[in-house]
Amino acid sequence: MTYAALKNDRFLKALAREPVDRTPVWMMRQAGRYLPEYRATREKAGSFMDLCRNAELACEVTLQPLERYPLDAAILFSDILTIPDAMGLGLYFEPGEGPKFRKTVRTEQDIAALPVPDAERDLDYVMRAVSTIRRELNGRVPLIGFSGSPWTLATYMVEGGPSKDFRHLKGMVYGRPELAHALLDKLARSVTDYLNAQIRHGAQAVQIFDTWGGALSAEAYPEFSLGYMKRIVDGLIRDHEGRKVPVILFTKNGGLWLETMADSGCDALGLDWTINIGEARRRVGDRVALQGNLDPAVLYAPPAAIRAEVKRILDDFGDHPGHIFNLGHGITPQVDPEHARAFIEAVVELGSL
């Protein structure tokens, strides 16, 4: 399929550490419950997963924040848990409790029985959404595809849902590490296939969300999280439609491992708010671009305070190429959309080079 030429490539240039006229900005979870128009579309869809499975409605909510704000990228509207759902674990959502699975994966037999999904066949609804969004963007901004990391997906699959201590999976890591590796290997193959399918259908950059990698010990993280993300990076399509397809790694609470993450082959590291972005840049040098890293809770403050934090982060990063402004994690549902506007407009104004 031939798509319209890209009118705004600021985000992709920054990922390549090329000069840009201003710092590009997008928000993790920018299509979400803080927007009244998103809530209306989700109600029309019937449920969150019904919304994900409807390409036209998934496209509609993906574009909603672009209609409100001067953002420099769109991100596919989907969920990180689509792969385990396609493995037959039965994803569902409990109001107020988040995602859960009807089946857990805790034994050798459970792991052996897991299929590696075919992304084009078993996750075709995601690919339809990617194609639809890319077409409707019409070159306005780049489209970001994404997946959860193998470690993060494994936490939900083994625990059955969100967890505070990951006791079942961590028990496996320390007591039966070969089982953990068998599960993570299947997930790494699945994620690689899934992201490559997204790229073929029109994603122009991809991000791997390692939401729970920071829960691992200093010794366990390289083996059980980063090592599998590196395998994925090595297996991805890196050039498509005549342009490089950049890869962003985001490990929440991953500041301990920045140097080894920067050596993974990725193009950029996403940072949460627990590390100073200037210090992060000094540690990784010009090996990778950096994305981040406003604390999402700053958006509950008055616009003047939001603007001051934006300026501080821009000043901390300094006059260097390779900064994509973002939140340090996803925007939260209770944020006033006008406070999100204050954040984005501050970046647009103060980030002009």
Residues annotated as catalytic are 29, 33, 42, 79, 156
**Residue 329 assigned ligand-binding role:** yes
Structure tokens belonging to residue 259: 């140097």
**Residue 139 assigned ligand-binding role:** no
Please report the DSSP string for 138-179 in residue order: TTSS-EEEEEE-HHHHHHHHHHSS--SS-HHHHHHHHH-HHH
Say whether 315 sits in a helix, a strand or coil. helix
**Residue 211 assigned ligand-binding role:** yes
Residue 74: strand pairing partners:
143
CA 154 from chain center: how many Å? 16
Start-to-end CA span in the chain (Å): 35
**Residue 72 assigned ligand-binding role:** no
**Residue 291 assigned ligand-binding role:** no
For the purposes of burial, counting CB atoms within 10 Å of the CB of 277, is it exposed (0-12), middle (13-18) or buried (19 or more)?
A: buried
Rg of the chain over Cα atoms, rounded to whole angstroms, equals 19
- Residue 322's closest CA among 280, 294, 350? 280
Q: How far apart are CA 86 and CA 316, in angstroms?
A: 42
Burial 187-210 (b: 16+ CB within 10 A, else e): bbbbbbbbbbbbbbbbbbbbbbbb
**Residue 156 assigned ligand-binding role:** yes
Q: How far apart are CA 224 and CA 181, in angstroms?
A: 7
**Count of Cβ atoms closer than 10 Å to residue 256 Cβ:** 15
Numbered residues of the known binding site for substrate = 29-33, 79, 156, 211, 329
Numbered residues of the known binding site = 29-33, 79, 156, 211, 329
